[in-house]
Amino acid sequence: MTSLATAHDTVLVLNSGSSSVKYQLVDPVDGTPLASGLVERIGEDTGVVTHKHDGSVTKREQPIKNHTEALEVVLALFDEVGPNLAEAHIVAVGHRVVQGADVFAGPTLIDDQVQQDIAALSPLAPLHNPPNVEGIAVGRRLLAEVPHVAVFDTSFFRTLPPAAYTYALRKDVAEKYSVRRYGAHGTSHEFVSQEAARVLGRDAAELNTIVLHLGNGASASAVRGGVAVETSMGLTPLEGLVMGTRTGDIDPAVVFHLARNAGMDIEQIDHLFNKESGIKGLSGENDFRELHKLIAAGNEDAKLALDVYIHRLRKYIGAYFAVLGHVDVIAFTAGVGENDHVVRELVLEGLEPMGIEIDPAKNEPRSGDARIISTEQSRTTVMVVPTNEELAIARQVVDVISA
Ligand code: AMP
């Protein structure tokens, strides 16, 4: 981190979840994070705030009733610990919003109407848009002097062809209730596909890329010449890959079965699928570092969880090869994708006949840099490309306010 001695313009990026606010003050030109942090356990007895600035970490534990208090605590920390926001040349606040549906084609300057329109999309993203809107409302109130911009997780997937985004559901019902696939994590997929091309010294328009965003949430995308043509998340971020706590793909009849036979209502099933399933549901842990420890100790549930996770990923990779025809790049990103060489190896193991060959000597070492991990002969270049959603959001924010 650097100090503000050579102050550029900055953007404050806010990612407001139901019980957390993640923030970063970032230079949108060179990507330097001037400060970052996380407010967790909003609404619980004890909230936790972690603020990072200039190499130091400040941690506070105190009750944080709601998102207003969360942002107030963050602004107070900027005052106390730095950087001084009055001197930080903040040109705008960028808000991550999960669902923009077909209402928002791209990043949008927020006014009262836009805020209402984002709130109106909440039925399509009931777990995400309401806290996103709350963050926007609080942000606009407490930082009223700068423009606020919404950056949507769905925008990058607006280019999906109808064959990819349409569910085979009765047409009138699908249309009336806006039921289609929208995708999510788009900011990351766009950033990583472009970054992969940049690192290779190629134009994104020349490359077919599969991006595997493997964090606590996980999604895959197929990007043809810089344009997204398929992705694994659907109406909501529940569809697709096995995730930390989400089922990913599951027969929808499981919902009927549980409702009829387990006496569970829709809210309980929603919670079960989103919060208590996935790797955690199978093994008791959702952090891959813990999962590997359990496997090493001989835990069969953990082993099966990893097997299911890898199997689902391999099916998606095969499918996206068929969608794209040929694949120039496979890019791993996010917490698991960037750090877990075992997952990367298992996902692509034995795919030499498809032209994919990982080099263990490149795959195993840890590094924070974008890098190639395939052999020279591999027809598909396999890469690890760290995602940077805050920087990607900040850049989109600057595009909007300079337009
Ligand atoms: P994200 O959602 O991108 O922040 O990713 C968070 C997840 O990344 C955690 O829940 C872990 O499962 C995983 N993760 C983070 N660091 C490591 C690591 N060193 N090795 C394996 N998995 C990791």
Tell me the per-residue pLDDT of 66-116, one tens digit each, with 9 for 90 and over: 999 999 999 999 999 999 988 899 999 999 999 999 999 999 999 999 999
DSSP strand pairing (329-333 vs 208-214): parallel
Instruction: Decide: residue 69, CB within 10 A, 0-12 exposed, 13-18 middle, 19+ buried.
Output: middle
Integer Cα distance of 262 and 148 in angstroms: 45
- The structure tokens listed for 78 are 């900027």
Nearest to 246 by CA among 256, 236, 260: 236
Q: Which of 212, 288, 385 to mutate to test the pocket of ligand 1 (most atoms within 8 A of CB)?
A: 288
Read off φ and ψ for residue 154, nearest 5 degrees: -95, -15
Q: What share of the chain is helix, strand, coil (3-state, %, to 5)?
A: 40, 20, 35
Q: In what order do the strands lie in the sheet with 21-26?
A: 56-62, 47-53, 33-40, 21-26, 10-16, 90-97, 148-152, 108-109
Distance 244 CA to ligand 1 centre (A): 9
> Which residues contact ligand 1 via a Cβ below 6 A?
215-216, 244, 286-289, 334-336, 339-340
pLDDT of residue 6: 44
Integer Cα distance of 79 and 59 in angstroms: 15
Atom 15 of ligand 1, nearest CA residue: 335
Domains, in order of start, for the chain: 10-152 (3.30.420.40), 203-389 (3.30.420.40)
Distance 333 CA to ligand 1 centre (A): 10
Nearest to 39 by CA among 53, 18, 10: 18
Helix-helix angle 300-324:288-296, to 10 degrees: 130
Integer Cα distance of 343 and 335 in angstroms: 11
Q: How large is the greatest C-alpha to C-alpha distance in the chain, in angstroms?
A: 64
CB 140 within 8 A of CB 110: yes
CB 211 within 8 A of CB 189: yes
pLDDT of residue 2: 37
Give the position, in ligand 1's atom list, of the atom nearest the Cα of 292: 21
Read off φ and ψ for residue 211, nearest 5 degrees: -105, 130
pLDDT of residue 272: 98
pLDDT of residue 330: 98
pLDDT of residue 86: 86
pTM: 0.94
Distance 34 CA to ligand 1 centre (A): 23
Catalytic sites, residue numbers: 153
pLDDT of residue 7: 54
Give the position, in ligand 1's atom list, of the atom nearest the Cα of 366: 19
Question: How is 206-240 classified by DSSP, letter by letter?
Answer: G-EEEEEEESSSEEEEEEETTEEEEES--SSTTSS
Integer Cα distance of 86 and 83 in angstroms: 9
Atom 4 of ligand 1, nearest CA residue: 335
Kind plus residue range of the DSSP H or E element containing 109: strand 108-109
CB 153 within 8 A of CB 186: yes
Distance 335 CA to ligand 1 centre (A): 4
Q: Which of 213, 216, 293, 347 to mutate to test the pocket of ligand 1 (most atoms within 8 A of CB)?
A: 216
Distance 106 CA to ligand 1 centre (A): 29
Read off φ and ψ for residue 291, nearest 5 degrees: -60, -45
Would you write out the chain's pLDDT as a tens digit for each of its 403 residues? 333 334 589 999 999 998 899 999 999 998 889 999 999 999 999 999 999 999 999 999 999 999 999 999 999 999 999 999 888 999 999 999 999 999 999 999 999 999 999 999 999 999 899 999 999 999 999 999 999 999 999 999 999 999 999 999 999 999 999 999 999 999 999 999 999 999 999 999 999 999 999 999 999 999 999 999 999 999 999 999 999 999 999 999 999 999 999 999 999 999 999 999 999 999 999 999 999 999 999 999 999 999 999 999 999 999 999 999 999 999 999 999 999 999 999 999 999 999 999 999 999 999 999 999 999 999 999 999 999 999 999 999 999 999 8
Number of H helices, E strands in the chain: 15, 14
pLDDT of residue 291: 98
CB 282 within 8 A of CB 252: no
pLDDT of residue 4: 39
Distance of CA 12 to the CA centre of its chain: 18
Nearest to 130 by CA among 144, 120, 141: 120
